[in-house]
Amino acid sequence: MGTLNSEFEALKRLESEFSTDLSHCDDLKALETIRIKYLGKKGAINQYFKRLAEMPVESRAEWGRELNRLKNSFQQELSAKSSALKKQQQRREFVDVSLPGYHSYVGKRHPLTQILDDIKFIFTSMGFTIEEGPEIETDYHNFEALNLPPDHPAREMHDTFYLPGGFLLRTHTSPVQIRVMEKRQPPIRMIAPGRCFRRDTPDASHSPFFHQVEGLCVDENVSFTDLKGVISAFAKKLFGPGVQIRFRPSYFPFTEPSAEYDFSCIFCEGKGCRLCKGTGWLEISGAGMVDPEVFKSVGYDAEKYSGYAFGMGVERLAMLKYQIDDIRLFYENDIRFLDQF
In contact, 290 and 258? CB cutoff 8 Å: no
Range in 48-62, 151-165, 277-291, 322-336 with the lowest mean pLDDT: 48-62
Q: Name the β-bridge partners of 190.
A: 129, 216
- 187 & 86 share domain: no
Q: Is the pLDDT of residue 92 over 70?
A: no
- 52 & 180 share domain: no
- 73 & 195 share domain: no
- Please work out, in degrees rounded to the nearest 5, the angle formed at the alpha carbon of residue 139 by the alpha carbons of 206 and 128: 70
- pLDDT above 90 covers a percentage of the chain that reads 41
In contact, 137 and 170? CB cutoff 8 Å: yes
> What's the rounded mean pLDDT across residues 166-182?
94
E strand or H helix at 256: strand 255-264
What helix, strand, coil percent values describe the chain, rounded to 5? 50, 20, 35
- 115 & 81 share domain: no
Q: For residue 256, tell me if it sits in a domain.
A: yes
Q: Is the pLDDT of residue 8 over 80?
A: no
- 81 & 201 share domain: no
Q: Is the pLDDT of residue 35 over 60?
A: yes
- 62 & 117 share domain: no
Q: For residue 35, tell me if it sits in a domain.
A: yes
- 21 & 166 share domain: no
Cite the DSSP H helix spans in the chain: 4-23, 28-39, 44-50, 57-94, 111-125, 139-142, 174-183, 224-239, 292-298, 314-322, 335-338
Q: For residue 301, tell me if it sits in a domain.
A: yes
Q: For residue 105, tell me if it sits in a domain.
A: no
Give dist(CA 11, CA 83) in Å, integer.
26
Q: For residue 104, tell me if it sits in a domain.
A: no
Range in 5-9, 13-17, 77-81, 126-130 with the lowest mean pLDDT: 5-9
Q: Name the β-bridge partners of 163.
A: 167
Give Cα separations from 27 to 23, 72, 87, 127 (angstroms): 11, 22, 11, 71
Q: Look over the chain and give the mean of its residue pLDDT values, rounded to a whole number.
A: 86
Q: Is the pLDDT of residue 93 over 70?
A: no
> What's the rounded mean pLDDT across residues 183-211?
91
- 213 & 300 share domain: yes
Give dist(CA 49, CA 67) in Å, integer.
7
- Of the candidates 65, 94, 123, which is a domain's last residue? 94
Write the CATH number for 251.
3.30.930.10
Give dist(CA 283, CA 262) in Å, integer.
4
Neighbours of 163 (CB within 10 A): 11
Q: For residue 58, tell me if it sits in a domain.
A: yes
Which pLDDT score, from 0 to 100, does residue 3 have? 60
In contact, 141 and 181? CB cutoff 8 Å: no
Which pLDDT score, from 0 to 100, does residue 66 have? 81
Q: For residue 106, tell me if it sits in a domain.
A: no
Q: For residue 102, tell me if it sits in a domain.
A: no
Strands 129-130 and 188-197 come out as parallel
Which pLDDT score, from 0 to 100, does residue 83 have? 87
User: Of residues 120 and 36, which shows the higher confidence score?
Assistant: 120
Q: Is the pLDDT of residue 281 over 90?
A: no
DSSP 8-state class, residue 53 = G
- 147 & 203 share domain: yes
- 115 & 89 share domain: no
Q: Name the β-bridge partners of 129.
A: 190
Which pLDDT score, from 0 to 100, does residue 7 have? 72
- 158 & 218 share domain: yes
- 54 & 133 share domain: no
How many domains does the chain divide into?
2
Q: What amino acid is encoded at 151 in this protein?
A: D
Q: Which domain holds residue 85?
A: 4-94
Which pLDDT score, from 0 to 100, does residue 1 have? 45
